[in-house]
Structure formats: C-alpha cells, structure tokens
Chains A and B, each alone.
Chain A
C-alpha cells in the first residue's frame, strides 16, 4: 500500500493508461499494426469486431506459450496417474506406516499390477490436467478474469464490437511518448486519437 502511494502520490488523480487510435477498415488496421510494430513498441494491442487473418503476423506476435503449459499438465497427469495406480495396487507396503499403505485389490484373478486396467485412469488424468493447464493457463496468460479495463472508459471504443478497429499503445511502454505516438497514429491513417485515463 505504501509503495503504491510513493509511486503515485495523489492516488485519486487519473493516471494515463495510454493512447487509443481508431481506424475505419481492416486494411488500414493491418497497415497501422505493421507501423506500430516497426516503431518498436512492446506494450500495445489491436482490437477488431472479428478475427483478422494476418494480424498476428502484422503485429509481430510471438507464438503463445500455452502449448508448453498444456504439455506440462499432460506429463504431470500421466506421472501422477501412473504413480497412483501402481502404488495403490502394489502388494508390498505392509511394513510402512498404515496411512501410507496401499490397497491392493484382487480383481477377476488378474495380477495386482495390470497395466491394461490402469490405462483408462492414466488417460483420464492426463487429459484432465492438460485441460486444466489449457483453461487456467489461458486465463492466466491473458490476466483474466478482470472486471474492468481502462479502455472501457472510451465511448468510441464501444464500436470495437461492431464496425471500428482500434490500436492502443500503453503508457508504461518504454518508448511511450504521447505527442510522438499521436503523430505516428495520424501518419498511419487513424481517423481519431484519444488519451485513455486509468481511474481505478
């Protein structure tokens, strides 16, 4: 608490979130995205009412890290399930503390450790933890859920869900300099540029 007060001595005064530029069509947006990318900005994003092919490339976005998280989740699920099934069904834990003893159960005369019977369990836990990693990893990487976003302070930004395209450059980008960014947006064909306040 004290730290934020040091950073921001007047907490009630609005802080600038960044600069928002509005574009009329997809082609201008793609062209502008290339311009913002080439100017070296790192903390910025594009907004469009529908998915735009080639936008990732125009923005110079790197591949998502999500697949690695999912793979990690899957490997963890696989390992846990193998360990759990094999340990539960192992027959030689009688010497250990009773809380750690296994629970071998004889089923239709099969050997205790019968892998064919474990595969459904192993498969399910692998899928479950992969799915958890995918869903929660996606939310985490996107910093979701959140109840409000400074961009919603803009009336014009509502049209991002119908017929307008936007680019926002955040003020905490190292290269952020309001007049320069405004000039860049205007050169790139923005039809309107506005400052967005963060009044949280």
Chain B
C-alpha cells in the first residue's frame, strides 16, 4: 500500500467529543457577572452613554464571529466542498452561538430607548442644518419600533438557519443518511441570499446608523468581511484547542490548517480591499455629507482633522492588512500551528479594534454646537474599563455558549458522505 496515504475512514480510537459542560456553565455565569459588574461601575451617571457604545462594539464583534461561522457553513454546502468537511461542525457550533446574541441584544435595545445610543432618536439634539434635514427624512426607517422589529427579524433568521444546519448535521451523525446532506445543500443557496440581505441591513442598522446622516452602500460587506476574518481565526483556535485536549488528533492535520490559514489570508485582503474601496470613492467624490464620517474618525491628512483615531487607522492599516499580508504569504506559516495561532489572536484583536473605530467615535457626535463634519476637536480616545471589561464578559458568555453547544455531540460530522475525502485531503 501507499505509505503516505491517510485513511479514508475515521480511526475508531479517535476522540470526536469534548464534554465541557461545567466549564461552559461557569464561563456563562462568570461572563454575565462581569457584564453586570461593568454595568454597575460605568453604566450609570455620567458614563452611562459610553457603556452602551462599548456594549454595542462588543455585541457587533461577537455577532460577527457567529455570522462568519454561518457563512462558512453556507459556502461549504453551496460549493459541495470536500476538503473542509472535518472543520464544518466547528462552524455550525459557532454559528449556533448566535442564540445567546438574542439575549445579549436586550441592552442594545435599552441603549436605543433610554440612552440615545442611536442619535436619530432625537435628531434635534444631535444634528443641525442639512444634517438634521437628512436625518429627519429617514424617520420612516430609523425609528425605535421599526428598528426593534428589524433586529428581531434578523436574529430570528440567523437563529433559524444556524439551528437548522446544526440539527440536520447532528441527525446525520446518528443516521448517516446522505439525503440530509442534499437537504442542507438545497437550502444553502437561498440561505446565502437571506444571509446577505440580513447581514447588510443589520450592519446598516446596528453600526452605520450611529451617524444618522451618513451612508455607504458597501458598509454591510465591510462588516461581513471583518467578521469572516474573525471567524476563521476563531475556528483555527478552536481546532487547536480541541486537539490540545486530545480530540480530533488524527482527523485534523496541517493540510486542514493550511486551508483555514488561506481563508484568513484571503479575507484579510478582502477586508482591506473593501476598506480602501469605501474610502477611495468618498475621498474622490469629496461630498461633505459623506466625508464627514471619515474626518470624524481621523481619516484625513489635514492637520486640523488629525485626532486619536488617525493613529487607530494606522494601527489597522498595518495590523489588519500590511503585516498579516506579509505574514501569510508563505505556505509554511499556514501549516505551522504555533504561528497560525499567533496570527489568529492578532487578527481577532485587529477586527475588534476595527469595530471600536466604527462605533466609539459616534459617542462624540453632536457634542457642542458643531456638525459631525468639523467636530474633530471634541474627539476623545475610548479604550478603558467598559470596552475591555465587556470584551471579556461578553467573550466568556459567547465562548461558554460555544462550549455548551459543542459538548452536546461530535466535533466533526462523523457520518458525512464526504468525510473520507476530507480526511485524506492534501494541500499540495
């Protein structure tokens, strides 16, 4: 026999489960306690508004990871991928963690209703002149009740899709019925359309509408691209973590990590492409109602517009594109687990900084009498207890949910008809 061939069937001694129920429960409780503590310290009085902005930053961050997982599952089915079957269950589990985002969405609604998280709830306080006119004209879309209804619909669609894929895939673990694969594949194409529409609109609502006067049609894709980078990084870390704990040691090898690394690389470049495309068109058009958003976030070389966010942009230019781009070029990096793990953590941090840059500057919107376009002087840096505390707290809740969902079954689709193809996959 060929000495280099791997086996096309799962080794019976392979550990494919990782029960982490108690760890998951502890993480969930600790996470909720941390969120409550951060709220107790900073969620009342002067800093109350900042708490909700920091909360939205982290909500959008973890939501994007779950959505990245859903996207991965959808494209795996729509393309009938053989190679990534061993890694698909991790995607299904992360996608299903969108269930906790339903509960975690409640403070976003509280922020909307009581703390002017979205300035369009009270346009006369936050906008002037033409901006006020523009925001008032959007009232038919940007109003509290419709916003809450839309948010509920998005979450419902994501939960339904994530649960459908996880349940169907797990049923196949028991029955081995190939019809179930066909069922998931049939749903994946319309599912992708549904995914594209809901994610775009959710990005518009949750983040873009923070500045009610601004708009960018590419914004949803930008948020999506960052989320996919984050998801593949998380998937890489989850696979490494599972293997460290003795699961999936024989079925996942450097060929599969190589694929995950390629996707991290590809979507990092895609993110940079979108970031540039969005910026370039607005810079080139130079229309005040569009450029204001960028000037407010320090994206200008004019001295009077340089603020703390200008440095954050440099951090993202190098941290979210140039350095990872150079780092990911070599195939050896993508096949070496320790290096890949470092890049995974790096990219997750970069994606989080990106969301911080998208959300937090809006807290200064309408301060003083200036319109957003020339309010650069009022900008303050936001990186402190609310932001980092919620990153940790919500992270514990999210990862606790991932652990609990993951504990309930196998970590790879053990009876998928394409599993053999995936096990012997080689990245030549």
Stretch at the interface among B32-40, B197-205, B276-284, B397-405: B276-284
Q: Is the CB of B284 within 8 A of A116?
A: yes
Residue of A nearest to B276 (CB): A119
Q: Encode contact with B along A49-76: 1 for CB under 8 Å, 0 otherwise.
A: 0010110111000000001000100000
- Whether the pair B280, A116 counts as a contact (CB closer than 8 A) is yes
Partner of A119 from B3, B5, B280, B330 at Cβ < 8 Å: B280
| B268-316 at interface with A (beta carbon < 8 Å) | 276, 279-280, 283-284, 286
Decide if A27 touches B279 in the complex (CB within 8 Å). no
- CB-CB under 8 A from B284, the residues of chain A are 108, 116-117
User: Are B2 and A27 in contact, CB atoms less than 8 angstroms apart?
Assistant: yes
Q: Is B173 positioned at the interface, with any CB of A under 8 Å from its CB?
A: no
C-alpha spacing A129/B130, complex, angstroms: 48
Given contacts A71-B329, A116-B280, A119-B276, contact A53 B5 (CB under 8 A): yes
Q: Quick one: which of A26, A71, A108, A116 contacts B2, CB cutoff 8 A?
A: A26
Judge if B428 is at the interface, Cβ distance under 8 Å.
Answer: yes
Q: CA separation between A54 and B3, bound complex, in Å?
A: 9
Closest residue of chain A to B273 (Cβ to Cβ) is A123
> Does A30 sit within 8 A of B, measured CB to CB?
yes
A-side contacts of B5, CB under 8 Å: 53-54
Which residues of chain B are within 8 angstroms of A71 by Cβ–Cβ distance? 329
CB neighbours (8 Å) of A51 from chain B are 428
Asked whether A58 lies within 8 Å of B280 as measured between CB atoms, the reply is no
Contact digits for B308-348, partner A, Cβ 8 Å, 1 yes 0 no:
00000000000000000000011100000000000000000
Pick the contact of A116: B279, B329, B331, B424 (CB < 8 A).
B279
Tell me whether chain A's interface is mostly helix, strand or loop, or mixed: helix
Task: Annotate B217-261 by CB proximity to A: 1 below 8 A, 0 otherwise.
Answer: 000000000000000000000000000000000000000000000
Which residue of chain A is the closest to B285 with respect to CB atoms?
Answer: A108
Closest residue of chain A to B326 (Cβ to Cβ) is A71
Asked if B1 lies at the interface with its beta carbon under 8 angstroms from chain A, I say yes
Q: Is B136 among interface residues, defined by CB-CB distance under 8 A? A: no
Q: Let me know if A108 and B4 touch, CB within 8 A.
A: no
Return chain B residues, CB-CB under 8 Å to A26. Answer: 2
Closest chain A CB from B11 CB (angstroms) = 19
Within 8 A of A (CB), among B350-395: none
Count of chain B residues with a beta carbon within 8 Å of a chain A beta carbon: 17
Contact A30 B329 (CB under 8 A): no
Residues of A near B330 (CB, < 8 A) are 67
- Chain B residues with CB below 8 A from A30, complex form: 2-4
Q: CA–CA, A70 to B424, complex, Å?
A: 29
Q: In whole angstroms, what is the CA distance A116 to B281 when docked?
A: 9
For residue B426, CB closer than 8 A to chain A, the reply is yes
Distance in Å: Cβ of B316 to nearest Cβ of chain A: 16
CB distance from A89 to the nearest CB of B (A): 15
Interfacial chain B residues near A54, Cβ < 8 Å: 2-5, 426
Interface residues of A in 105-122 (CB under 8 A from B): 108, 116-117, 119
| B276 contact set on A, CB distance < 8 A | 116, 119
Contact with A along B394-428 (1 / 0, CB 8 A): 00000000000000000000000000000010101
The answer for the CA separation of A56 and B4 in the assembled complex, in Å, is: 11
Q: Do A53 and B1 touch (CB < 8 A)? A: no
Q: Which of B279, B280, B329, B426 contacts A53 (CB 8 A)?
A: B426
B424 (CB) vs chain A CBs: closest residue = A53
In contact, B280 and A27 (Cβ under 8 angstroms) = no
A108 to B287, CA, bound (A): 12
Q: Given the complex of chains A and B, what is the CA–CA distance between A67 and B330 in angstroms?
A: 8
What are the residues of chain A within 8 A of B428 when measuring CB–CB? 51, 53, 56
Question: Which of B1, B286, B426 lies in contact with A27, CB distance below 8 A?
Answer: B1
**Cα A57 to Cα B331 with chains together (Å):** 16
Q: In angstroms, how far is the closest chain B Cβ from the Cβ of A6? A: 44
Instruction: Please measure, in the bound complex, the distance between the C-alpha atom of A67 and the C-alpha atom of B333, giving whole angstroms.
Output: 14
Q: Are A57 and B2 in contact (CB under 8 A)?
A: no
Q: Which residues of A contact B331 (CB under 8 A)?
A: 67
Pick the contact of B4: A58, A67, A117, A119 (CB < 8 A): A58
B1 to chain A: which residues have CB within 8 Å? 27
Give the CA-CA distance A177 to B330 in the complex, in Å.
Answer: 40
Within 8 A of B (CB), among A22-60: 26-27, 30, 51, 53-54, 56-58
Please give me the 5 A-B residue pairs with the lowest Cβ-Cβ distance, nearest first. Answer: A54-B4, A116-B280, A116-B283, A53-B426, A30-B2
Question: Can you list 16 A-B contacts (CB < 8 A)?
Answer: A26-B2, A30-B3, A30-B4, A53-B5, A53-B424, A53-B426, A53-B428, A54-B2, A54-B426, A57-B4, A67-B330, A116-B279, A116-B280, A117-B280, A117-B284, A119-B276
Beyond A27-B2, A53-B424, 12 additional contacts (C-beta under 8 Å) are: A26-B2, A30-B4, A51-B428, A53-B4, A54-B4, A54-B426, A56-B428, A57-B4, A67-B330, A108-B284, A116-B276, A116-B283
